[in-house]
């Protein structure tokens, strides 16, 4: 089991959490971990629930996005991969996971923070926006350009428990044939890609050795690292779906 985990790239978060990732096949090294916690110590953080709407009903406040918006956010995000900071057209966004998705969505006129409520962290504020302007879902196949949310990736409220609610966010880039989702997100070293496959929820690798889930949370005591699939909270679709992207 230990050898299996040491083959996993550990991708943790800056602002969302801060563990520097290591290359595939490298040793898991969490000595650089520093959790930046802005929540009130000991306060449980619940995930907001939307108001139920009839089956087939559209969002409460649908977005008026320009044609090709979904392709634009993907292209902008892809160009940022490998960069340390999120700088788009000369504007610097926050150096954390929310800064990346806010920056790319702003290029199509979408401000993801306008539904924030008192006490929200950035990820929760964006989730709340998606509940009002799009569709939040857990099952099924995502579409390139959708958002993906994770919970309890680090101890946001500093109470030693996994009760931290939504703590990380990324952008779906593409979906591989086996269902592995490639996600672009911001981590300690910058903007990178990682993998998540909900079919192999408890496996970092498939039977043939391919990485299907990267780790998002370092080990704690006797608890092993937690995979992206294990900390998955949901997807959100906000932009019109373009036929060429639906099968990506």
Residue-wise pLDDT for 89-125, tens only, equals: 999 999 999 999 999 999 999 999 999 999 899 999 9
Residue where the block lists tokens 């990820």? 123
* Coil/strand/helix, residue 244: helix
Query: SS in 3 state form for 88-150?
Result: ECCEECCCCHHHHHHHHHHCCCCCCCCCCCCCCCHHHHHHHHHHHHCEEECCCCCCCCCEEEE
3-class state of residue 152 by DSSP: coil
pLDDT value of position 69? 96
User: Sorting pLDDT into bands at 50, 70 and 90, what band is 188?
Assistant: confident
Domain assignment of residue 22, yes or no: yes
Averaged pLDDT, 127-151: 94
| Domain range enclosing 91 | 2-36+64-246
Number of domains in the chain: 1
Provide the terminal-to-terminal Cα distance of the chain, rounded to the nearest Å: 33
Cα 242 to the center of its chain, rounded Å: 22
Q: How far apart are CA 225 and CA 22, in angstroms?
A: 14
Would residue 119 count as lying in a domain?
yes
Match 């608890």 to its residue by tokens. Answer: 223
Residue-wise pLDDT for 16-34, tens only, equals 643 333 333 222 322 222 2
Residue 191 belongs to domain with CATH number: 3.90.1720.10
Residue 41 lies in a domain: no
Q: Which of 34-48, 61-75, 96-110, 156-170 has the lowest mean pLDDT?
A: 34-48
Q: Is residue 56 part of a domain?
A: no
Residue 166 falls within a domain, yes or no? yes
In a domain, 214, yes or no: yes
- What is the spatial distance between Cα 45 and Cα 63, in angstroms, rounded to a whole number? 28
Question: Is 58 among the domain residues?
Answer: no
pLDDT attached to residue 64: 82
**Domain annotation covers residue 134:** yes
CB atoms within 10 A of CB 45: 20
């Amino acid at each position: 089991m230990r050898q299996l985990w040491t083959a996993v790239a550990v991708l943790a978060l800056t602002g969302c959490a801060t563990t520097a990732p290591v290359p595939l096949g490298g040793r898991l090294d969490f000595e650089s971990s520093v959790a930046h916690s802005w929540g009130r110590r000991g306060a449980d953080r619940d995930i907001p629930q939307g108001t139920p709407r009839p089956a087939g009903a559209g969002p409460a406040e649908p977005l008026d996005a320009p044609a090709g918006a979904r392709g634009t956010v993907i292209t902008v995000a892809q160009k940022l991969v490998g960069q340390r900071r999120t700088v788009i057209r000369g504007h610097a966004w926050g150096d954390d996971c929310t800064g990346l998705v806010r920056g790319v969505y702003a290029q199509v006129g979408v401000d993801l923070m306008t539904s924030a409520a008192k006490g929200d962290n950035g990820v929760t504020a964006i989730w709340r926006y998606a509940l009002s302007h799009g569709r939040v879902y857990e099952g099924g196949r995502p579409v390139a350009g959708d958002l993906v949310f994770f919970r309890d990736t680090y101890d946001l409220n500093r109470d030693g428990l996994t009760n931290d609610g939504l703590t990380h966010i990324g952008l779906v880039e593409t979906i591989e044939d086996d269902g592995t989702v490639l996600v672009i997100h911001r981590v300690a070293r910058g903007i990178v890609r990682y993998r998540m496959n909900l079919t192999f929820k408890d496996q970092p690798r498939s039977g043939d050795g391919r990485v299907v889930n990267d780790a998002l949370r370092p080990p704690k005591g006797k608890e092993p690292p937690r995979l992206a699939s294990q900390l998955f909270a949901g997807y959100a679709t906000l932009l019109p779906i373009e036929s060429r992207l639906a099968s990506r």
